[in-house]
Every structure is written in C-alpha cells, then in structure tokens.
Amino acid sequence: MSHTAHIPSHRKPRRSASKLALRAGVAGGVLGTIAVAGAAGPANAEPVTETIEMPTLGSLDAAGGLASAVAASAEASQQEALDQNLQTLEDAALHKAAKEAKKAKAEAERKAAAERAEKARLKAEQERKEAAERASRDAARTQLSTTSSSNDSGSSSSDSGSTASESSSSQTQAPTGSAAAIVAFARAQIGDAYVSGGTGPNSWDCSGLVQAAYRAAGIDLPRISYEQSSMGTEVSLSNLQPGDILYWGSRSGSYHVAIYVGGGKYVGAQNPSSGVVEHTMDWDTPSGAVRIL
C-alpha cells in the first residue's frame, strides 16, 4: 500500500467536459475582448483592473426554472378562472331549473285545488236539488193522498166509471211513428237502476230517461224535468196519447216526469229503491201532461 493512501484527496470533483468547454469559451471570449481593447488604447493607458462578473451556469439554470414556474403559475391561474366560470354557469342553471320547477308545482297545486273546489260545489248543488225534489215530491204526494181520502165517499163510483172509460180508451191506442220509438226505448230500460243525474246507458234519473227516449225518436229535449214539462202543449189526463210526457208538481216547476206508454200506464225512473218501472196511472197519479209530438 502507498504511504499516501490514507491521506484524503483535496481535489475538487471533475466537471463534465461540456460544462468546462462552455465556461472556457465564455472566459476566452471575455479575455480576448480585454486584450484587443488594451492593444488599441494609448501606450500610457493604465491597465484595466476592474473585474467583470460573468453569469454562471447555476444562475442560468435558476432563471430558466423561474420562467417555467411563472408560466405554470399563469396557466394554473387561467385554469382556475375557467373552472370558476364553469361553476358559476352551472349554479345559475341549477337555480333557474329549481325556480321553474317550483313555479310549475305551485301552478299544478292551484289547478288541483280549483278542480276540487268546483267538484265540491257541483256535488253540493246536486245534493241541494235532490233534497228539494224529494221534499216537493213528498209534499205533493201527501196533498194528493189527503185530497183523495176526503173525496173517497162522494166520488168513488164516478171515479171508477171515469177510470174504466179512460182505460178502455187508452187500450185501443197503438203507438206509431215517433211515439212508437219513444215507447219502445222507455220500455227497454225497465229494470235499470235509478241514479240521480244518470243519463244511461244502464242507470237513469227521471228526466234523463225522458230525454234519451225522445232522442231515440230524433227529438232533442232539455235535461231538467221542469224544462221538459214546460215544452209542447198541455193536455188533460183524460186525453193522453202514447209518448206524452207526464209531470208531477206544477208545469213550470215539476219535480218528476215520466212517459205515457198507453193502456193507462207509464214508464219512469222513479227512485233508487224501484229503479225504472212501469206503473198504472192510479199507482201515483201525475199532476198533468204535455204533448211534444
């Protein structure tokens, strides 16, 4: 072993050839410039003693890294601005959609509430009319019953003769034309249910049945009983023809209607318990009759 092997080396690490060449070139250029300047100057000129500090490779590398950092920071700032702008647009779109959805929901709830209120009003109006019709019908029947009882002793024989005569006369009648169509339609509905406001095809109220029967003959009638009994010409109960409309109550304020079918009988939608039935005239004597045909 060499006697100097244990002594650590004091030499600086060797630089790469490229870096040494670069530094040598820079230094050579600077010294050449100084030498030319000295040769061109006067002989008695003082020697240049100022030392020029040349940039090193480390400072050049630092400047490049700073430029890259500035560029990266600018790019990051631009991206952040774009992200914020996109987020703002998304928030605005969501807010607008939520506002429109809230408005649509409020409008739907308003319409639903209006529909419920209208249905409730119509139902209450229908119930009021039905109650009025029932009350009027009951009052009329009570009055007719009282009148009939008071006159039974003095008029039973004459009434029997008159009824027999009317029945005999009615039985000879045979409906034809429009009357036949009306009677046939009314009798075809016997057994159907009575439903207030019913207009068929399997459930009726009194005026709904009369209106449909006349429509089968090509004749349009109003929907309400008192409007139907106000039409046509009033006829007496002793001069009825098939197809005539019978009414109960006053002509302009009737609460029930039916169709005379001949033979001293009529067909009508009476009430929920009996439905559409055929009865004789003395089962529930009508107040009057009108002729449309």
Retrieve residue 115's tokens.
Answer: 């529909």
In the predicted structure, residue 172 carries a pLDDT above the cut 90: no
Residue type (1 letter), 214: Y
**What fold is seen in the domain 168-291?**
endopeptidase fold (from Nostoc punctiforme) (3.90.1720)
Token reading at 62: 């630092």
Per-range mean pLDDT, top range of 82-96, 172-186, 201-215 = 201-215
Residues 6+ apart with CB under 8 A from 216: 181, 182, 184, 185
**DSSP-derived 3-state class of residue 62:** helix
Q: Answer whether residue 207 shows pLDDT above 50.
A: yes
Residue 165 has pLDDT above 90, yes or no: no
254 vs 171, residue with greater confidence: 254
Average pLDDT for 134-153: 50
Query: With pLDDT > 90 as the criterion, what percentage of the chain qualifies?
Result: 38
Name the nearest CA neighbour of 228 among 201, 198, 203, 258: 258
How far from the centroid of its chain's Cα atoms is residue 221's Cα?
34
Give tens-digit pLDDT for 3-59: 555 555 555 555 555 454 545 554 555 455 554 445 445 545 455 455 555 555 556
Spatial distance between the Cα atoms of 193 and 205, rounded to a whole number of angstroms: 9
Give the residue with greater pLDDT, 34 vs 125. Answer: 125
Q: How confident is the model at residue 156 (pLDDT cuts 50, 70, 90)?
A: very low
pTM: 0.44
